[in-house]
């Protein structure tokens, strides 16, 4: 029997106006935002629907805002269609959304954790000292060699294995800039510096990971109601006992999204629904495996497309 995966976006999918349509069309969505806002003392509804960009794009604000918008979307999907998903995965921050939906981390606790996660990440590297770049058209072995050659004693490594030919690198800004130039010389289709201030998923995040461990280990976690694929291992969490360690490791380890989607296929997934703002993951899934049908839900129009499928 084929399975449906729900996949949840991470940082970079945010935009001013996200969840506005859901708030306007489904009255129960307001309660989701109010609960999240009360838990951290920030008006996430205003931030998500009105911005400004400069505030929404601050890592410590972006993370709880995306998580809340994604939980709002999953509530609409559940209430209107009854679809809960057979297996879950999230890209970086999105893994927290998956763990909430699976019943492992309570929603408001997750909002508080990702808010602190964002703060720890911002504090780990001074503004302007770190960078990330997307390398397009190079295989993983070539990117590993690229990072080794461009590092020159600085921190530089692959951060996100997003899809075939799309790998994001992260590290100290000067090293990332060298790597971007060298990548073009070595035949990369493109090397794009990303508009982020925090170099996620590399060794520069080790101090943030240490602070995060204290917060996550204090949580009372539930059991998995739905399996969740881990970014670090690209396989399902074996038990609740593994959650803290894998979430802490995730912050300074590469996101194995390409392998995670391939694992979903091995688990029997034929349909993936991206739940939350944007279609970043939908595009990646299409590049990884065109046999997996991909839909998304972020507003009433996309919900109608799902309903039309009679799933």
Q: Are 273 and 85 in contact (CB under 8 A)?
A: yes
Indicate which residue of 39, 70, 92, 302 is catalytic: 92
Is 140 marked active-site?
no
Q: Are 193 and 240 in contact (CB under 8 A)?
A: no
Alpha helices, DSSP H, located in 125-205: 140-151, 173-185
Q: Order of strands, edge to edge, in the sheet holding 166-172?
A: 156-163, 166-172, 130-136, 190-193
Q: Are 271 and 293 in contact (CB under 8 A)?
A: yes
Q: How many CA atoms lie within 13 A of 107 on its CB side?
A: 19
What 3-state class would DSSP assign to 219?
Answer: coil
Count of other CB atoms within 10 angstroms of residue 109: 18
Indicate which residue of 37, 91, 200, 201 is catalytic: 201
Is 91 marked active-site?
no
Cis before 52? omega within 30: yes
Enter the tokens of residue 263. Answer: 């694992």
Q: Are 99 and 243 in contact (CB under 8 A)?
A: yes
205 Cβ partners below 8 Å, 6+ apart? Answer: 121, 124, 125, 199, 251, 252
**Catalytic center residues:** 92, 201
């Amino acid at each position: 029997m084929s399975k449906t995966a729900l996949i949840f976006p991470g940082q970079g999918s945010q935009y001013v106006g996200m969840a506005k349509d859901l708030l306007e069309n489904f009255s129960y969505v307001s309660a989701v935002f109010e609960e999240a806002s009360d838990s951290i003392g920030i008006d996430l509804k205003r931030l998500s629907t009105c911005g400004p960009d400069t505030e929404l794009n601050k890592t410590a604000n972006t993370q709880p805002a995306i998580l809340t918008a994604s939980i709002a979307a999953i509530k609409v999907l559940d209430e209107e269609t009854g679809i809960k998903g057979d297996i879950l995965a999230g890209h970086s921050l999105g893994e927290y959304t998956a763990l909430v939906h699976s019943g492992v981390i309570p929603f408001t606790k997750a909002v508080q954790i990702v808010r602190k996660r964002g703060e720890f990440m911002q504090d780990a590297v001074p503004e302007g000292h770190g960078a990330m770049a997307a390398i397009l058209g190079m295989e993983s072995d070539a990117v590993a060699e690229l990072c080794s050659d461009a590092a020159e004693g600085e921190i530089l490594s692959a951060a996100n294995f997003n899809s075939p030919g799309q790998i994001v690198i992260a590290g100290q800004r000067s090293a990332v800039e060298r790597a971007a130039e060298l990548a073009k010389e070595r035949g990369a289709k493109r090397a794009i510096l990303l508009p982020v201030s925090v170099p996620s998923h590399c060794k520069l995040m080790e101090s943030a990971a240490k602070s995060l461990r204290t917060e996550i280990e204090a949580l009372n976690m539930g059991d998995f109601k739905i399996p969740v694929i881990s970014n670090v291992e690209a396989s399902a969490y074996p038990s609740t006992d593994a959650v803290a360690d894998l979430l802490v490791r995730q912050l300074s380890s590469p996101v194995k999204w390409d392998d995670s989607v391939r694992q979903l296929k091995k688990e029997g997934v034929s349909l993936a629904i991206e739940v939350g703002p944007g279609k970043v993951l939908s595009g990646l899934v299409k590049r990884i495996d065109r046999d997996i049908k991909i839909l998304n839900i972020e507003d009433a129009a996309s919900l109608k497309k799902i309903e039309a499928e009679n799933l």
